[in-house]
Amino acid sequence: MTDPQTHLIFAALADPTRRLLFQQLCEEGSGTAAGFAARLPITRQAVIKHLLTLAEAGLVTFYDEGRERHYVPQPEPLQSVTSWIASVESLWDKRLAALRNYLLDEVTQTAPKNQTGSNTDSLRKGYKQNDQKH
Amino acid sequence: MNIPDRIERIEVLPVSRERVWDAITRPEQLSQWLSMVRDMDFCVGGTIHFTWDNELSPYPGVIEVIEPAHRFTFRWYSHAIGHPELKLAPHAGTLVEFTLEEVAEGTQLTLVESGFASLPDEAVAEQSYQDNQGGWSALLPGLRARALGQISAM
């Protein structure tokens, strides 16, 4: 992961109940623990625990109005997740391009005797010198 | 609202399935394009050793599926490597699946990496929470302002 916050977000959204709570908060704009517990097959305490985990990840905030605590979604942190996923996709694009090049180099090589050097290179264990964690 | 859980890529390669299979399962070939691969014990349940920053990674991958010339799947912890302080391993694994299919133009290779949204670890979240206690104090002034705003709007 690129940073602890992104990991917290993944950990928070790993749980399907939390994903559902977050989704409903996004759809409705805000919610209360009692409101969720009335609609879902989980206790109010469990709802609060889940909402706190979402808050720790920065996905939810809350305010108190009299005796009621209202939870409000903050979807902006999901941006960091989307960017991170995009960076992993870009890594795979590079790797697959390298695979294609590797396969096509093999296909277009026509002089077997010149290959001795390159075969030794490809059998050498491990990693390229300019390794960038591809 | 979309919570991403997987990455998928499809490539059509103008070579045979067997050729692609070799390139993704023989370590000396795999390391030509997936450069952190060092060696592997090629059997279901076998380990794949990786090199990160020129050192052997403490988190080997595990092979889950081998269907010759068709499917190769392993679990790895590449995303845990950069942040040992997060104590993600062995939980922060993602699954990498390669599927090969013969097509008119050669071989269709489908790559899926999945499991990003399912990194399970309440303990890690707890650890990070402890480390991020300061975050709560930062939240409170904003919350106060909002609460006062809400009340005066009633």
Task: Write out the E strands in chain B.
Answer: 6-13, 37-40, 47-52, 55-56, 61-67, 71-76, 94-103, 106-114
- Residue B78 CA to residue B99 CA, distance in Å, equals 20
- Of residues A14, A56, A89, nearest to B129 (C-beta): A56
Is 90 exceeded by the pLDDT of residue A112?
Answer: no
Q: Which of B35, B91, B112, B128 is the best substitution to test chain A (most A C-beta atoms within 10 A)?
A: B35
Output the six-digit token pair for A14: 């790993």
Residue count (chain A): 134
- Residue A108 CA to residue A118 CA, distance in Å, equals 14
Over the stretch A41-53, which tens digit does the pLDDT of each residue have? Answer: 999 999 999 999 9
| pLDDT recorded at residue A71 | 97
Q: Cα separations (Å) of B44 from A103, B63, B71, B146?
A: 26, 5, 12, 56
- Residue B29 CA to residue A28 CA, distance in Å, equals 52
| pLDDT recorded at residue A134 | 54
Is 60 exceeded by the pLDDT of residue B81?
Answer: no
| pLDDT recorded at residue A13 | 84
Return the bridge partners of B76, or none.
B94
Nearest chain B residue to A3 by CA distance is B83
Give this complex's ipTM: 0.73
| pLDDT recorded at residue B3 | 66
Q: How far is CA B123 from the centre of its chain?
A: 20
| pLDDT recorded at residue A14 | 77
Nearest chain B residue to A98 by CA distance is B33
Q: Does B105 touch chain A (CB under 8 A)?
A: no
Q: Does B27 touch chain A (CB under 8 A)?
A: yes
Q: Which residues of A touch B110 (CB under 8 A)?
A: none
- 3-class DSSP state for residue A101? helix
Q: Cα separations (Å) of B5 from A26, B8, B63, B108, B110?
A: 19, 10, 20, 23, 16
Over the stretch A63-102, which tens digit does the pLDDT of each residue have? Answer: 999 999 999 999 888 887 788 788 889 999 999 999 999 9
Strand-pair category, B71-76 with B6-13: unpaired
At residue B123 the predicted structure's pLDDT band, cuts being 50, 70 and 90, is very low
Residues 110-139 of B with CB under 8 A from A: 111, 113, 116-122, 124-125, 128-129, 131-132, 135, 139
Task: Tell me the one-letter amino acid at B2.
Answer: N
Q: Cα separations (Å) of B99 from A100, A120, B14, B17?
A: 15, 29, 15, 10
Q: Do B120 and A14 touch (CB under 8 A)?
A: yes
- Spell out the domains of chain A, with CATH numbers in brackets: 1-108 (1.10.10.10)
Instruction: Give percent above pLDDT 70 in chain B.
Output: 64
Q: Which residues of A touch B32 (CB under 8 A)?
A: 98, 102, 122
